[in-house]
Amino acid sequence: MGQQIESALRQSIHRIVLVLVSFLPGILAFLLALIVFTLIGWALSALLRRLLTAVRFDERLASREFPGAPAVIADWSPSSSPTLLAARVTFWVCVLAGIAIGISAFDASYAADSRYSVFLLPYVAHLTGAILILVAGTLLARFLARTVLIGAVNAQLHYARFLSLGVKWLVLVLTAAMALDHLQIGGAIVELAFGILFGGIVLTLALAIGLGSRDLVSRSIEKTMEKPTTPRPTEVPPLTETEPPPRPRLRHF
């Protein structure tokens, strides 16, 4: 009995070690490809930067040599420098190429009928997609939250922060649900949880805005409903003190 257990354990350890050993070349190939291409990208980027600086690329672009191009490029460039933009694009293209080649090498290190390869590689693609969704969603949530916050403050809404947080979490919840769906995790539970959370946030926001704006709405309705009462011709208008002249309205422009 003991020998059988020992044999079973030994066999399973052996199998795991074999799997790890078969994994290792692929991982090493992936890392090597990534490091080499990152270094190539860094070198190319530095070279390009020096070259463009030497030929005064930014100044030439800003002059009238290429009408139409400078404003658009400068607008998307870090610190308004098209040279920096070109250098960074070169670097990241090389890094992405390294990742693609690494994954390809990882794939090639397996036999075609390997069940790990069949399972793992599509999942890596899904994982990459989910990470991209998460990054984009987080950036969008941050941007929208800030836009709403600033707009609400300038509109003198006292619940500006609350509104901004609501928008931020709406986008984050949506992003998380999309990422999980992309990874095929959770299935119907994720959809249900997403529906409940999303609906909850929207209801909370609606209640908050409704309650917060109650005074504003009631004042607006009162203004609409109340009509100015004109004195009857027979009535003597009440004596009022002479009102001071209205202060001049301010003009910003």
Which of 90, 79, 80 is closest to 45 using CA atoms?
Answer: 90
253 is a site residue for another protein (CB under 8 A): yes
List the structure tokens of 222: 């009162």
In angstroms, the CA 46 to CA 88 distance is 9
**For another protein, the closer CB: 98 or 137:** 137
Provide the token pair at 239: 């004596």
Nearer to another protein by C-beta: 14 or 142?
142
Q: Taking CB under 8 A as the rule, does residue 251 contact another protein?
A: yes
- Minimum distance from CB of 154 to another protein (Å)? 5
Q: Does 248 bind another protein (CB under 8 A)?
A: yes
Tell me the angle at which helices 82-108 and 69-76 cross, rounded to the nearest 10 degrees: 60
- CA–CA gap between residue 126 and residue 122 (Å, rounded): 6
Are 18 and 114 in contact by the 8 Å Cβ rule? The answer is no
Restricting to residues 228-247, which ones interact with another protein according to CB under 8 A? 247
Residues in 46-105 at the binding interface with another protein, rule: CB under 8 A: 64, 67-68, 70-71, 78-80
Residues that bind another protein (CB under 8 A): 64, 67-68, 70-71, 78-80, 143, 146-147, 149-151, 153-154, 156, 158, 160-161, 164, 247-253
